[in-house]
Amino acid sequence: MHFNLKYGSGTAAVDLDDSRIIDVVLPKPRKPLADALESVRRVLAKPEGTPPLAEMLAARKPKKLVIVVNDITRPTPYSVLMPPLLEVIQKAGIPDSHVTLVTATGIHDPHTPEQNILVYGEEVCRRFKVISHNATDPAGLVYKGKLPSGYDFWLNKLVDEADFLITIGVVMPHYFAGFSGGRKSILPGVAGKETVQKNHARMVELMDNLPPIRENPVSLEMIHAARLAGVDFILNVVVDDNEQVVEVVAGDLEKAWYKAVDVSESMYMIPIKEQADITVSAASGFPRDINLYQSQKALDHADRATKKGGTIILVAECREGYGEKVFEEFMNRGWTPQHIMAEIKAHFVMGGHKAYGFAKVAAEKNIIMVSSLPEKIVASCFARKAGSVQEAVEMALKEQGTEARFIIMPEGSVTVPVIAAKDG
């Protein structure tokens, strides 16, 4: 069987014997919306759990309307979402000067002006203020009290001062929060670094046994934070592996988002017959494989598909290297996977959580990377470098034996393998 796996802005080819393949893990197909723009207009007019957006804006007449948007690492179809949203805002008589876009960078780097144009388009960047959240700037944060787990909630000041707050997101599986989108625009999107760190610290409890989304304690804390932040209205989509919109929801923070979650789950939580000796996982190409920090998701998903002692081939360009300084520092300490895991469990720190993700896999499995990264960086992540996917397969077969069986994950960053329940 021939595969052209997404790799950066191109593809990487590999051929495998059909008889050796257990499963090809792909999103379940769902028909793209026939007219996505019209579907957005429809849900803005008939949202879940709130009045129509036009009515809400007419009643509130906001002078500080804030729209929280995703950063460059989270592909979002703004060309579909923004025109209908801006139509409603304009018809409500709200001038462009009253609207600010806040980029939910979480603890990622702020956007450059060029990245803003690349992500949101020239017209949006010309008409509106676009400001990246800074999780480490005390002057830009406001204290909102304690969250149920007992830690402090620090929120972006512009978001806090908004008199109407809209969030835009994409709902996809997430390795410990369950799913992205919805409440995640606020925590971690526009929260202070200390708050994000305390919330994410619970990932070490959840990664091996992720609870159902409506019971996930990390997600529930995120919802609480988003309610405290005063989210008035969300606009979220589910996309397929070609970034085509298959579902759009709008309205209440939970009602609309959970509707999208159910669609996303039906597409991206994929049953597999059994675990493989070798799993080939492509990190879904650029921008999902922009760096190691983002590509870790494809490694985590592959981990679920691979037997203990097996080999994972991670196909990820990583044109921007590690992607985060603390993560990079952890990976270059020369520690064993077990040492990194013990340190993060004892002293959780943001960035270190990605090191934990790599270490957790490396503690039990072999990792081979097909990447543009130099061998030294690949080795720091407990992996060996291969020059091509085909070469990586040959390396893996030497480890696992010529009779080894494969699972292929062409969309490894977004598909989550689930062992199918056996009868009886």
Residues constituting the chain:
424
Q: Do residues 23 and 42 both lie within one domain?
A: no
Q: What average pLDDT does the segment 107-126 reach? A: 94
Q: Do residues 378 and 288 both lie within one domain?
A: yes
Residue 424 confidence class, pLDDT cut points 50, 70, 90? very low
Q: Do residues 227 and 115 both lie within one domain?
A: yes
Q: Is residue 69 part of a domain?
A: yes
Q: What average pLDDT does the segment 277-300 reach? A: 96
Residue 421 confidence class, pLDDT cut points 50, 70, 90? low
What dihedral do alpha carbons 117, 101, 219, 242 form, nearest 10°? -30
What pLDDT, on the 0 to 100 scale, is given for residue 350?
87
Residue 242 CB partners (closer than 8 Å, separation 6+):
none
Closest among 297, 314, 257, 252 to 47, alpha carbons compared: 252
- In percent, the amount of the chain with pLDDT more than 70 equals 99
Residue 49 CB partners (closer than 8 Å, separation 6+):
251, 252, 254, 255, 256
Q: Do residues 216 and 124 both lie within one domain?
A: yes
With 0.85 as the threshold, say if the pTM is over it. yes
What pLDDT, on the 0 to 100 scale, is given for residue 139?
97
Q: What average pLDDT does the segment 391-414 reach? A: 97
CATH code of the domain covering residue 314? 3.90.226.30
Q: Is the dihedral of CA 265, 266, 270, 271 positive or negative?
A: positive
Checking if the pLDDT of 332 tops 70, the result is yes
* Number of structural domains in the chain: 2
Q: What is the DSSP string of 390-418?
A: HHHHHHHHHHH-TT--EEEETTTTT-EEE
What pLDDT, on the 0 to 100 scale, is given for residue 205?
84
Q: Do residues 50 and 109 both lie within one domain?
A: yes
Pick left, alpha or beta for residue 146 (phi over 0 → left; psi -120 to 50 → alpha; otherwise beta): beta
What dihedral do alpha carbons 372, 376, 381, 383 form, nearest 10°? 80
What pLDDT, on the 0 to 100 scale, is given for residue 242?
87
Q: 94 in helix, strand or coil?
A: coil
Domain that holds residue 234: 36-239
From residue 12, give the alpha-carbon distance in Å to each of 20, 101, 263, 264, 394.
20, 36, 30, 27, 15
Q: Do residues 60 and 115 both lie within one domain?
A: yes
What pLDDT, on the 0 to 100 scale, is given for residue 49?
98
Q: Is residue 264 part of a domain?
A: no
Checking if the pLDDT of 9 tops 70, the result is yes
**Domain boundary residue, one of 223, 239, 255:** 239
What pLDDT, on the 0 to 100 scale, is given for residue 209?
81
Residue 422 confidence class, pLDDT cut points 50, 70, 90? low
CATH code of the domain covering residue 55? 3.40.50.11440
Q: Do residues 298 and 165 both lie within one domain?
A: no
Q: Is residue 368 part of a domain?
A: yes
Q: What average pLDDT does the segment 302-314 reach? A: 98
* Rounded Cα distance, 34 and 49, in Å: 25
pLDDT in tens, 123-136: 999 999 999 999 99
What sections of 212-308 are H helices per DSSP? 217-229, 255-268, 292-305
* Rounded Cα distance, 417 and 301, in Å: 7
**Domain boundary residue, one of 219, 239, 259:** 239
Checking if the pLDDT of 15 tops 60, the result is yes
pLDDT in tens, 191-231: 999 999 999 998 888 887 889 999 999 999 999 999 999 99
* Residue that the structure tokens 């944060």 belong to: 141
* Rounded Cα distance, 172 and 175, in Å: 10
Mean confidence (pLDDT) of the chain: 96
Q: Do residues 203 and 98 both lie within one domain?
A: yes
- Asked if 361 contacts 300 with a C-beta cutoff of 8 angstroms, the reply is yes
Closest among 31, 32, 53 to 42, alpha carbons compared: 53
Q: What average pLDDT does the segment 1-17 reach? A: 97
Q: Do residues 87 and 178 both lie within one domain?
A: yes
Residue 400 CB partners (closer than 8 Å, separation 6+):
277, 278, 310, 311
Checking if the pLDDT of 346 tops 90, the result is yes
Checking if the pLDDT of 360 tops 50, the result is yes
* Rounded Cα distance, 317 and 314, in Å: 10
Q: Do residues 277 and 398 both lie within one domain?
A: yes
